[in-house]
């Protein structure tokens, strides 16, 4: 008898765990659905943060571009003054200063170009993120409407299924009901009393 009781306990445990697994699955799907409908809003917020960071970077690069152009103008002026002064004096020391100034002008041009290219790249990525953010915001506005349509469509489908089942049940009842209606039985004289 102990052996039978163990089996019954195992079946009870299995049945209990089966119910919890089903409930766990339903809870998990509800959580996933909630996350799905909240996802566009969170992605839009992330895009907003990213745009703010890119804007800060862009303003910093703009300031560095302004400072680089000022440096470039200053080095060009220095180079021009050295060339003008070098022609008058003809000193060999002046020649080294002119070549150093030329190198400095080339370096400032390269850094200015690099900063400008980086700024253009940031502007492109900003435009792309703005488009994505607009899409996420539109999606977050449209998802509740879609959810409402899905629930109303689900209700309509279940109502249609219920009506079909009722019709099928009515047909089967009519087919199996072999007794004549009362009005026909009275006319033909076939009543239960006569038979």
Residue 116's nearest CA partner among 79, 78, 67, 73 is 67
Largest CA distance in the chain: 147
Q: Tell me, what's the pLDDT at 110?
A: 92
How much is the mean pLDDT over the chain?
77
Mean pLDDT of 61-79: 89
Using alpha carbons, list the distances in angstroms from residue 190 to 176, 177, 186, 187: 19, 16, 6, 8
> Tell me: the pLDDT tens digits for 149-193?
877 766 666 666 666 666 666 555 555 555 545 555 455 555 555
Answer whether 129's CB lies under 8 Å from 86's CB.
no
Predicted local distance difference test score (pLDDT) of residue 194: 46
For the chain, what's the residue count? 195
pLDDT digits (tens, 9 = 90+) for 102-144: 888 899 999 999 999 999 999 999 999 999 999 989 888 888 8
The per-residue DSSP string of 87-120 comes to: HHH--HHHHHHHHHHHHHHHHHHHHHHHHHHHHH
The answer, as to whether pTM is greater than 0.85, is no
Q: Which CATH architecture has domain 2-155?
A: Orthogonal Bundle (1.10)
């Amino acid at each position: 008898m102990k052996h039978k009781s163990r089996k019954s306990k195992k079946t009870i445990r299995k049945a209990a765990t089966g119910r919890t697994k089903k409930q766990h699955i339903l809870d998990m799907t509800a959580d996933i659905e909630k996350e799905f409908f909240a996802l566009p809003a969170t992605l839009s917020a992330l895009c907003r943060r990213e745009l703010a960071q890119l804007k800060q970077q862009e303003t910093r690069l703009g300031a560095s571009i302004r400072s680089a152009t000022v440096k470039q103008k200053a080095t060009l002026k220095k180079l021009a003054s050295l060339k003008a002064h070098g022609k008058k004096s003809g000193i060999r020391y002046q020649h080294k200063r002119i070549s150093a100034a030329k190198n400095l002008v080339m370096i400032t041009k390269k850094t200015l170009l690099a900063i400008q290219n980086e700024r253009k790249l940031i502007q492109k990525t900003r435009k792309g993120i703005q488009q994505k953010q607009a899409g996420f915001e539109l999606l977050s506005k449209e998802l509740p409407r879609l959810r409402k349509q899905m629930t109303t469509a689900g209700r309509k489908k279940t109502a249609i299924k219920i009506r079909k089942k009722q019709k099928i049940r009515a047909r089967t009842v009519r087919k199996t009901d072999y007794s004549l209606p009362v009005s026909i039985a009275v006319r033909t004289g076939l009543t239960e009393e006569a038979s």
